[in-house]
Amino acid sequence: MTIVKICGITNLEDAITAAEAGADMLGFIFYPPSARYVAPETARKIVQSSKFKVQNRQQNLEPETLNFERPAFVGVFVNSPAEEIREIMDFCGLDLAQLHGDESPEMVASFGGRAFKAINPSSPEQAERLAQKFAFSINRPSRFTPHVSLLIDAFHPTERGGTGKIADWDLAAQLARRYPILLAGGLTPQNVAAAVRTVRPLGVDVSSGVEASKGKKDPAKVRAFVEQVKLAIG
């Protein structure tokens, strides 16, 4: 099964739409320069409310009609101090931290399996060096937190993600053969099936590719994206 992470969630409506579409992870960006930044207080309300709504929906359905569990909640951080990340994770009720800055391997490891590193390598050689540094095997899989070693994003000299630029699928495929990765970078409902078949990642990550506008998801695109991922493997 290829897991799906819908990132850049800023409101409860989008969170519920993604969960009901079958998303396995919802991402919240705690990086103020991002157009998809969400304050911890807002993220906390979304997490708590979406947990309640999913649980309530499940209680009101016949057992044979249940087709989704609540997704894992992931905080995206860029060069935030470790203690600040822990505080936000605890405050918001997050399952995992995605570290998208210049964090050290020691910092990633200090989360004891609750963090993974995002990288945007510019070459296969750099990808290999970064993978050897950051592709830990200590994530503890659970009902809500599938094991992830790395997120592979498109290279950009200055931006920290969310550019809509397509990642190097051949490079990502080389890493996916050895590590459980999430593939990000320019994915859309139109190209994600091809990406999954080419790279064979553990999962895929999308934000701008399913938006109506920055910070607001398009429900039809979200549903189409998840459907295409499921159809890609069959």
Residue 166 — left, alpha, or beta (φ > 0 → left; ψ -120 to 50 → alpha)?
A: beta
Q: For this structure, is 170 an active site residue?
A: no
Concatenate the DSSP letters of all residues of 164-196 into one string: -PPP-HHHHHHHHTTS-EEE-SS--TTTHHHHH
Q: What is the mean pLDDT of residues 209-229?
A: 96
Using the 8-state DSSP alphabet, how is residue 210 labeled? G
Determine which one of 7, 24, 95, 205 is catalytic: 7
When comparing pLDDT for 104 and 55, which is higher? 104
Q: For this structure, is 92 an active site residue?
A: no
The whole-angstrom separation of Cα 105 and Cα 222 is: 33
The whole-angstrom separation of Cα 161 and Cα 120 is: 8
Q: In 3-state terms, what secondary structure has residue 133?
A: helix
| In the chain, where the domains are located | 3-233
Tell me the one-letter amino acid at 231: L
What pLDDT score was predicted for residue 64?
A: 41
Cα Rg, the chain, nearest whole Å: 16
Cα 100 to Cα 24, 117, 139, 162, distances in angstroms: 20, 6, 17, 11
Whether the per-residue pLDDT at 70 is higher than 90: the answer is: no
Whether the per-residue pLDDT at 40 is higher than 50: the answer is: yes
Q: What global pTM score does this model have? A: 0.88
Residues 4/23, Cβ–Cβ less than 8 Å: yes
Lowest mean pLDDT: which of 62-66, 98-102, 103-107, 155-159?
62-66
Determine which one of 95, 153, 168, 205 is catalytic: 153
Whether the per-residue pLDDT at 158 is higher than 60: the answer is: no
Q: Could you tell me the fold of the domain covering 3-233?
A: TIM Barrel (3.20.20)
Question: Which class for 228: exposed (0-12), middle (13-18), buried (19 or more C-beta within 10 A)?
Answer: buried
